[in-house]
Amino acid sequence: MAIIVQKYGGTSVGTIEKIKGIAERVLRRKSEGNDMVIVVSAMGKTTDHLVKMAYDISPDPDKRELDVLMSTGEEVSMSLLSIALNNIGADAVSFTGQQIGIKTEGSHTKSKIADINENKIIDELQKDKIIIVAGFQGVNEDNEITTLGRGGSDTTAVALAAKLKAQCEIYTDVDGIYTVDPRLYPSARKLEYISYEEMLEMASSGAGVMHSRSIELAQKYNVPVLVALNTGDIPGTIIKEMDNTMENTAITGLAVNNDEAIITLNGVPHDISVVAEIFQSIASKEINIDMISQTFPVNKLVNISFTLPKTELYRASRILDSFKDKLSTFSYEAYENISKLSVVGIGMNSQSGVAARVFNLLAENRIPVSIVTTSEIKISYVISPGDQTKAIEAIAKEFDL
């Protein structure tokens, strides 16, 4: 019998009625002869509500306790889904991360799954049970409750599927992966397939749906992942290894990110040790910077621009202020109002000139670009938000997205 791991996100289990609906669907798949393992997130806005209570008490709540607090949300969902399944004649049983043997490592609120002890799951599947597992949580080697960070339930599902050599199905409130976010470009096409590499670049470039960590894990263990609408009645997108079934187009998708800001450092001495010191100071505060560009030196000084999440702008500014005293020529400017477009496609490997085609398109449409960075299968452009719609339409038409 095939084992199927399904994951239902927060909106999918947001109400009693939705939980009952999921129970019906899970039982149907079970009746078709599949072994079912179901991973659930917390209901609706539960996690946000719990976190808000913690921050109402303390501006800096203890992360160990935050993990304990947040872990309860998934436990409510899992027991309710189990009750719903038992109510319609299924034989279901729910397990916390601790109970099912999800071992984690790393710091609280952003732990990683170190291993899963699959014995308990296999025992219960052999008793013909439907297994419900709390997503997003595990315990570390000290039996402390830990959580896996945003999108952690996806990671739980992929890790279980990898361990059980099972199919993995992620049910969410979007019906698949699109070439462009349909809210920004309504003519976008839904992809039947996307490769792990492309999905990773899309995810890290601002296309939500799934978090990078779960895709990395799927790629590492070669677990095909179906992403589909939680009603289950329309086809979704399958994330899998690149193969011949995929379209051989230059660009698979266009990701748009409006959550980043840009900082430009002016008058930085053209000395690698100074530049390194600045970036190390920022990295030491765990601020992730993304695109970096540097001008040619003039009078032994360079200008450097980089992007970072808007939420980190304040902390980064405090660090840069400390360099003003040390470096007489140094100043910086920050702009919150930017739009980052990333074109992603494995086809770039084999088709030359994609970057040039995009540049030409932007020039024809008189859209100035402030930074460009390229990787093997992705090119990112920072433009003005006012040009965003025009740029999306031009690129989508040119590359048939």
Contact residues: its own copies, CB under 8 A? 16, 19-20, 50, 53-54, 56-62, 64-66, 68-69, 71-72, 75-76, 78-80, 82-84, 86-87, 93-94, 96, 98-99, 143-145
Q: What's the min distance (Å) between Cβ of 220 and its own copies? A: 30
Nearer CB in complex with its own copies: 56/233? 56
**DSSP state at residue 287:** P
Instruction: Report the DSSP beta bridge partners of residue 139.
Output: 103, 145
Nearer CB in complex with its own copies: 144/393? 144
Q: What's the min distance (Å) between Cβ of 36 and its own copies? A: 16
Nearer CB in complex with its own copies: 14/236? 14
Q: What's the min distance (Å) between Cβ of 85 and its own copies? A: 9
Nearest CA to 83 out of 146, 40, 29, 136 is that of 40
Nearest CA to 397 out of 208, 254, 258 is that of 254
Nearer CB in complex with its own copies: 54/122? 54
Q: What's the min distance (Å) between Cβ of 136 and its own copies? A: 14
Q: What's the min distance (Å) between Cβ of 34 and its own copies? A: 22
Ramachandran angles phi, psi of 88, nearest 5°: -105, 20
Strand ordering across the sheet containing 301-309: 292-294, 301-309, 260-269, 331-335
Residues 6+ apart with CB under 8 A from 36: 3, 4, 6, 26, 29, 30, 130, 131
The length of the chain in residues reads 401
Q: What's the min distance (Å) between Cβ of 286 and its own copies? A: 21
Q: Which amino acid is it at 66?
A: L
CB 59 within 8 A of CB 182: no
Nearer CB in complex with its own copies: 25/270? 25
Q: What's the min distance (Å) between Cβ of 37 and its own copies? A: 17
Nearer CB in complex with its own copies: 57/272? 57
Q: SS3 breakdown of the chain: % helix, strand, coil, rounded to 5?
A: 40, 25, 35
Structure-block tokens of residue 147: 């959580």
CB 188 within 8 A of CB 250: no
Nearer CB in complex with its own copies: 71/179? 71
